[in-house]
Structure 1
């Protein structure tokens, strides 16, 4: 594994499981000091401890990305513990189901609040630290749903992830001259605990797809979270120095149809 992120201090939301946990492990393994944040503090602590046990640097911080005060406190704590911030990865997210005429306003608001506002709030709070550091790299986690609509009963999820991509592009344009890059990772089908984690915090849902998602993926399988972490580490690094405002579809070819 490389040391291309040595000296970087990176704030990761949703770091307690799934893609977020894989990202935290990967970037710590490449030399970054990581603030592992999650609404489930015990999950964040578990990941941070496993990183430290492997010789990396990590702190665990509680962060409810949908709550402005929680985000502000988490960013302040992380910046203090790590003596600043150079990068941000926003992995926290949920999904809610229901055709548009069936979807409750509460479920719509929750999906938008966690997925879209829950990307905006951490970025708004961390960008001043990146500016003080002279620049940095942001990776938001969107979805193939940022680009297409693979599910037909998750309109709030699709809308929120489309918004994440456009938010990322706006930030890329707004801060390019200050040395901040921002890119949106758009995963396809990934083996994560998203449904289980969503159920634990917000209740169970039933997501329906137009066709079997794996069958629709040309590579014929789900991705492992580590495969998303590898792309994220690259985007955070100087090896991606001329990439900003991009939607990176790490989807096994799903959106190539």
Structure 2
């Protein structure tokens, strides 16, 4: 199969935008950092692994973009508050927020221990709530803003992959996004939820709560049910995020965007 080449960045589309990004040290977050910077945004790249955030920020700057790298544990209130404060101090405010941090994990519900459940919800759901809570006051101060959360096809349908904690957390991300969209629409803030299908990232490798089938077994099962019969490149998700942050998506809020290769159309 011919390699897919994501659409070229729209140069200048995000010029002047200041964006706080979680999970920017790898996968969709890393690709998003590069994409947003290439379109003119100043990006605060955060990750629980400070060295990963710094590495990506260095690469963005080497390519001519504007970025800082910060440690941020999205499930810790103080860590999130400090990272947002550092971003505002560096950039002078915020115009957007993107929450890419996430982990996965498989287990039958009746066999799942409470630590597994709480870790997934802490990173995926609380780890969306805390960055948005910290960022929104600055978006309000700016007079407008755009938020993109990263859910999953699991926000929309059951993946049938024995991931009840992940599915519950990603369903919560979508509903939280809709609540934000409705609550702040009259104050100039849009919020949309990207719901990716299978993406070639390090999510499973980074998920310390992971249990269950081997990655390739899971991957082949999902590909079989995906109309395009492949996984996505992270850059394909980043291009959707850049669109949603931009004024090209000015009439979109509260939407669940299934960028899933046709998985949910099956």
Give per-residue Cα distances to partners, 1:140-176, cap 9 Å, x unaligned: 0000000011133110000000000000000000000
User: Is this contact kept in 1: 2:105–2:209, CA < 8 A?
Assistant: no
| C-alpha contact (below 8 Å) 1:150/1:210 kept by paired residues | no
Please report the TM-score for the alignment, with normalisation by the length of structure 2: 0.93
Q: Please point out which of 150, 154, 166 is paired with 1:141.
A: 150
CA distance in 2, matches of 1:152, 1:59: 37
Partners of 2:86 and 2:205 lie apart in 1 by 28
Match of 2:243 in 1: 234
4+ aligned runs moved over 6 Å, structure 1? none
1:30 match: 39
**Is contact 2:145–2:189 with CA below 8 Å preserved after alignment?**
yes
The Cα offsets for residues 180-213 of structure 1, whole Å up to 9 and x where unpaired, read as 0000000000000001112xxx354224759710
In structure 2, the partner of 1:205 is 211
State the number of aligned residues: 254
SS at match of 1:55: coil
Aligned to 1:253: 262
| Counterpart position of 1:44 | 53
**How far did 1:92 drift?**
0.1
In the TM superposition, 1:96-245 aligns within 5 A as 96-198=105-207, 202-207=208-213, 212-245=221-254
SS at match of 1:242: coil
CA contact (8 A) 1:152 1:210 kept: no
Structure 2 unaligned spans of 5+: 1-8
- 1:252 is paired with a residue of what secondary structure? coil
Aligned residue for 2:20, secondary structure, equals: strand
Query: CA RMSD for the aligned pairs?
Result: 1.3
The unaligned stretches of length 5 or more in structure 1 are none
Whole-Å separation in 2 of the counterparts to 1:221 and 1:197: 21
CA distance in 2, matches of 1:151, 1:84: 42
Counterpart contact for 2:200–2:232, Cα < 8 Å: yes
How big is each residue's C-alpha offset from its partner over 1:18-41, in whole Å with a ceiling of 9 and x where there is no partner?
Answer: 000000000000000000000000
Q: Which residue of 2 aligns with 1:17?
A: 26
Q: Does the aligned pair in 2 maintain the 1:192–1:225 contact within 8 Å? A: yes
Cα deviation, 1:106-144, whole Å, max 9, x if unaligned, reads 100111111000000000000000000011000000000
- Select which of 64, 68, 73 maps to 1:59: 68
- In structure 1, the partner of 2:94 is 85
The 3-state SS of whatever aligns with 1:10 is strand
Whether the 8 Å CA contact 1:14–1:91 is kept in 2: the answer is: yes
